A and B are shown apart, each in its own frame.
Chain A
Amino acid sequence: RKEVEQDPGPFNVPEGATVAFNCTYSNSASQSFFWYRQDCRKEPKLLMSVYSSGNEDGRFTAQLNRASQYISLLIRDSKLSDSATYLCVVNRGSNQGGKLIFGQGTELSVKP
């Protein structure tokens, strides 16, 4: 089992749709959680951190369920510019902060 698992997609949705991505992680001791987005042939960029109480940034909402070791990302009113790969990221280990482990990513394609 991979440490961080995501549905690879692709998710093909029309503009304006709401889309949700899920991610599961295996290390119950993880403390830091993030969503990154990566455009084709570019570097990953931080989309948002994920907090225990859930958090929202505009059209984006992230949720964390520690008991189920599950993270989600909800995108409302999707735009063409949201087309990208979304990476779930979890830290592992406590040795000086541990290391950040990336999921394989979920590809999103928003169509007109």
Chain B
Amino acid sequence: DAGVIQSPRHEVTEMGQEVTLRCKPISGHNSLFWYRQTMMRGLELLIYFNNNVPIDDSGMPEDRFSAKMPNASFSTLKIQPSEPRDSAVYFCASSLFQGVRPPLHFGNGTRLTVT
């Protein structure tokens, strides 16, 4: 079974550049979550979607971050402009929501370094 697929695995960019992270959830899953992980703050929820609709984006740090889910099989997280403090591992996770929140299946993550 194909799991959650994220790309790229690693991204190194300079401050001020636009960064786009991509995620393909598990086929049939209808919930998609974006998390960010750092040593200092642990795993932080940025945004989650149900049926391609953003439900809660209160964790998105600021207007520089945006996320879209144009269809059930694809989502993007964009940072524009990027800053060094955005350096982290970004995880995408998906699940099949049927009334009660089930556990999430995580992708391998994208390790972002902003210099």
Interface set of A (CB-CB < 8 Å, partner B): 31-32, 34, 36, 42-46, 49, 87, 89, 91, 93, 95-105
Given known contacts A43-B106, A43-B107, A100 and B50 CB-to-CB distance under 8 angstroms: no
Query: A95 and B42: CB pair below 8 A?
Result: no
> A32-B101, A91-B101 in contact; A96/B106 too (CB < 8 A)?
no
Q: A97-B101, A99-B48 are in contact. List 17 more A-B contacts (CB 8 A).
A: A31-B100, A43-B91, A43-B108, A43-B109, A44-B43, A44-B91, A46-B103, A46-B105, A87-B43, A89-B103, A91-B101, A93-B56, A96-B50, A96-B55, A99-B33, A99-B55, A102-B45
| Chain B binding surface SS class | strand
User: Counting CB contacts under 8 A, is B102 at the interface?
Assistant: yes
Q: Closest A-chain residue to B53, C-beta based?
A: A96
Return the 9 tightest CB-CB contacts between A and B, nearest first: A43-B106, A97-B101, A102-B43, A104-B42, A91-B101, A32-B101, A46-B103, A96-B50, A97-B97
